[in-house]
Amino acid sequence: MEEEIRKEFMELLKLLDEGKLQEFKEKAAVCPPVDIAEGLEEITDGGRVLRVFRMLPKDISSDVFSYMTSDQQQLIAESATNAELRELVDDMFMDDTVDFLEEMPANVVKKVLQNTDENTRKTINQFLNYPENSAGSLMTIEYVDLHDYFTVRKAMDYIRRTGIDKETVYTCYVIDEKRRLVGQVSLRKLIIAPENACIRDIMETNLVSAVTTDDQEAVADDFRRYDLTSIAVCDKENRLVGIITIDDIVDVIQDENTEDIKKMAAIIPDDEEYLKTSTVSLVAHRLPWLLLLMISATFTSTIITHFEELLASAVALTAFIPMLMDSAGNSGSQTSVTVIRSMALGEVELRDWLRVLFKDLRVALIAGAALAAVNFLRMILFTSSGMMIALTVSVTLLCTVIIAMIVGCLLPMGAKRLGFDPAVMASPMITTIVDAISLLLKDTKAAMHGNPAAREHLHNAAALVGAACGSVLDTVTTDLPNFPTNEERPTGDNDIRC
């Protein structure tokens, strides 16, 4: 919480403690609801939280409530009288009410539903039945819908009469007699249009809409691609049932990015705030991946064991193992993060895998050659290594960078091809795989230039690693060129007859 906001909230509390209720309400009325909610989060005394909330002006209390933490929302819901709870729910937008109930235990949900009218209760139950993280669970029913036969004057009168209870009035959605979505019209266009103009004559028919079962991440992509501030949500018969506004999409984007970042760090995603998550829960979300990566890292030790005799006869090579593994891991991680982010933004599709491979291959050749040249000069000038050892390590470095970047670009696309989240193929997994490959390559070059007796071990290890890596790359590349492109969703019925 920023210091200025904290100071302003403390002044509000001081007014309340001094009994200056009228001055408290006047200052609270002009204070942003989200700032008041963050201030309440700083209060650890539940009784004081209730007192402050009950003293808030009625016209902002529901907005403040929607920004509060789920623990404080539960405290207020359990402590409120039936009349207070009924008034609170009536003042909240439907999407905020559903978000609140989804975080509450059964007894609180039951209490809330008992204090709502039959229509509201039916609507809430319908929202709760939509799939999690779908457009239906995200939408609100507080929107402006206009019939296509309205005149501009009638539409403006309707907006003035009902707009106070709508989440947004800047975009109005046009429906026919069967409530099918046929177009949209902006408030700006309504203001400048002649009063006797028909809505169907001035509306836009080429609009973007979502279906209730669409994934929220796909809806967020539509907002980004088409620069939307709201989007209509329809059922399977194209009947308008709700809208999603930009404020909810911002939360979705933040949640999706947080989930991807955790997956890229090999952590099972969760929705809890860090400081409110128990130690046991944190361990449960991190340990499975740590165990998997630890077990997969034994592959590296297997390679070292296979080349034990070679390393014993060329101890100088051992000192360069960390450098080779780190360079390979860093190269693979850079490539995988770039590809994963490009896929998330829709800049790269699965059908582009050959273009991605060719581009990263060129990058790998240039970057690998530069690293190998610098490393060769460093070893010759600043170490006592011989020419052959410097050449062996440098060539190995070039090969590991090339292979690491190839693996780094193909594995995320292979994961998506198999239906997994590409983010799981980020730094930890890539590093584990390319570490094993870099070790194999180093010992391969050493065996070629060093102890001939180690070549038999080399062939065995190469067969083992080649089989494993080959199966991964085969999985990545099988049938990728035949993958279909994403189809555009229908944008509504454009054939409108006046």
Q: Which residue has the higher pLDDT, 17 or 276?
A: 17
Q: Which residue has the higher pLDDT, 253 or 308?
A: 253
Q: Looking up tokens 């404020």, which residue turns up?
A: 247
Residue 37 has pLDDT above 50, yes or no: yes
Residue 480 has pLDDT above 60, yes or no: no
CB environment 96-107: b (16+ within 10 A), e (fewer) = bbbbbbeebeee
Q: Across residues 56-81, what is the average pLDDT?
A: 88
Q: Which residue has the higher pLDDT, 364 or 337?
A: 364
Residue 389 has pLDDT above 50, yes or no: yes
Q: Across residues 486-490, what is the average pLDDT?
A: 40
pLDDT attached to residue 309: 67
Q: Across residues 294-315, what is the average pLDDT?
A: 66
Residue 256: pLDDT band by 50, 70, 90 thresholds?
confident
Residue 484 has pLDDT above 60, yes or no: no
Q: Using a cut of 0.75, tell me whether the model's pTM lies above it.
A: no
Q: How many helices, marked H, and strands, marked E, lie in the chain?
A: 23, 6
Residue 494 has pLDDT above 90, yes or no: no
**pLDDT, tens digit (0-9, with 9 covering 90-100), for 95-120:** 888 888 888 888 888 888 888 888 88
pLDDT attached to residue 201: 94
**pLDDT, tens digit (0-9, with 9 covering 90-100), for 118-169:** 888 888 888 888 998 899 999 999 999 999 999 999 999 999 999 988 989 9
Residue 380 has pLDDT above 80, yes or no: yes
Write the DSSP assignment of 430-478 as a string of letters: HHHHHHHHHHHHHHHHHHHHS-GGGHHHHHHHHHHHHHHHHHHHHHHHT
Please choose, from the candidates 406, 459, 460, the residue with its C-alpha nearest in 3D space to the C-alpha of residue 434: 406
Q: Which residue has the higher pLDDT, 449 or 490?
A: 449
pLDDT attached to residue 368: 93
Tell me if 181 sits within 8 A of 237, measured CB to CB. Answer: no
Q: Percent of the chain having pLDDT more than 90?
A: 27
Burial of 481 (0-12, 13-18, 19+ CB in 10 A): exposed
Q: Which residue has the higher pLDDT, 469 or 309?
A: 309
Residue 73 has pLDDT above 60, yes or no: yes
